[in-house]
Chain A
């Protein structure tokens, strides 16, 4: 197997093959001696030379992280034979969207549409796990739209309001 792997934004080419219970492994063409035991699903015990590592794999939605001990790495694994395009989020200009920082409930809306607001001005309050958090305007402008009502349940990432 050949993979294009991105760890914290840097690209690597990894060749892996399994033969007779052993891994053959090359990183960017360089041979690495490695011995692996899957301790349980998502937990690998790795030996590279005589150094030992406990490595954990964490997947949340489409995000994947690999933890080497307590160090966390964002990992992206692609099979170069598959033709999956990499969509890039478009740069945000002009109107700014306010998104829910966490799942919770809108307990108060502090301003109405059309109101002028300063950067850092409170727009609404979201409560989760008994903590109330004010969602603040990212810039000076006009509150163009409030997309939620008091009492509404929201998920992390939901758009709450737009500041123009």
Chain B
């Protein structure tokens, strides 16, 4: 088994992988950019190395710097997390050349599948259903215009190297095509270092359902069931759940077979995800394969009882899969909320800043994968994902109930987050009935939230509390004691917030 694993990532996923390493008795090496010195993953790791400026291309995307750290630290494997270098075949190849095991598929499998255009070509050849469009990058605006006119608007522009909604634009008519193409290309170039963009007919309000696959290096491939990821905003997933409310065992079997076929055709190894669009008649079309661990992997972990990061590490270590397809059982229901640093009152624009107060949910059926802590300043340089809150229950209703309860316990002060959005979603009758598609969230956000006039009693509580906080701001009251005790009789304790926050984190 590996002795030491370098995690080429940051944020909650770096913390997630570090935890798996420690559970397996493996040392964890963190890397960090200049603005991430205080980030949680640096604190949780056994070793940590600076890799340069905040700009990702000069730190987390810099292959040479990361391999240098691998060599200096003596790491024998690298886990790429998601995003950054996770789907970069050059990186996978560079690791192999440097004699460090890349925990993921081979460069060849990534090349075959990682580019959305190449994957589309492969699926067309294999006779699997794909959405109409081009299977090669667009060469010019004129070509885009011709293809769009042929397949009919609305169309979707997508980055061939894309993921996470970057470099993706929905175009309703020819007027908007030019500016959409330019911005998609520019965004793709910045995010992935590759401006290739292709075009697809936009299927209106489909469901987005994906299959998790696992393949060992001995030719065994299994699927672990589906995840329903239809709730998206700006093509970025917001809530995911497993299983999907509309997938029955027969449909799961058929989608699983296609997913395994896709993986095996590319001699795929390690964890991967095959994404499908599903129309209203439950026809499914291959969309793309993500050649990495997904953000939403915890819902699969909770419903299968498996640890995907442990399995990734075992597979990379050359071990065969420890179970067969017929041993995979889906049990219960799990739903994940992606907690983003975004301002719900300002069109969900990113809201970096300092977290001044953090109250954490816990209790039955609740899992929290987080990269934040009280006192930390969320940098503006990276993706705004702060944490994932996952609710698990014996059925969907119980999972929703637990998640809603936990969202009420969760409090992030000092920055804006989208927590209130999840309360709205979870209480929506259509969502509760499982009637969701990729247009759900836009429709929900267009409808103004029902203005619930706060009752007089709640306002009175706010008035009284505001005055008390003002009074207490002047006297250093001790937590846990009667706030009314005369502060003057007790000298204020000169403990910094920083220290007490760190202390509380350790107690968890």
Please give the residue numbers on chain A whose beta carbons come within 8 Å of chain B beta carbons, in ascending order: 1, 3, 5, 7-8, 10, 12, 14, 16, 18-19, 21-23, 25, 27, 32, 34, 36-44, 46, 48, 51, 53, 55-60, 64, 66-71, 73, 75, 77, 101-104, 107-108, 122, 125, 127-134
Contact = CB atoms under 8 A, between A and B. Distances in A.
- Per DSSP, chain A at the interface is strand
Nearest to B354: A60
B359 interface: yes
23 contacts: A1-B471, A7-B459, A7-B463, A8-B459, A10-B459, A12-B463, A16-B468, A18-B471, A23-B468, A36-B468, A36-B482, A38-B483, A43-B357, A44-B469, A55-B461, A71-B454, A77-B467, A101-B347, A104-B380, A129-B341, A129-B350, A129-B382, A130-B382
B350 A46 contact: no
B500 to A, nearest CB: 8
B466 interface: yes
Given A18-B484, A48-B461, A57-B465, 12 more contacts: A3-B467, A7-B463, A19-B484, A38-B481, A41-B357, A70-B423, A101-B349, A102-B380, A103-B380, A125-B183, A127-B190, A129-B352
Interface in B436-488: 454, 457-472, 477-486
Interface of B: 166, 179, 183, 186-187, 190-191, 234, 341, 343, 346-347, 349-353, 356-357, 359, 380-384, 408, 411, 413-414, 420, 423, 454, 457-472, 477-486, 497
A129 B179 CA distance: 21
A56 B481 contact: no
B357 A58 contact: yes
A150 to B, nearest CB: 12
A22 B484 contact: yes
Contacts of A107: 186, 190
A27 B460 contact: yes
A55 B464 CA distance: 10
B453 to A, nearest CB: 11
A21 to B, nearest CB: 5
Given A21-B485, A38-B479, A60 B346 contact: no
B43 to A, nearest CB: 21
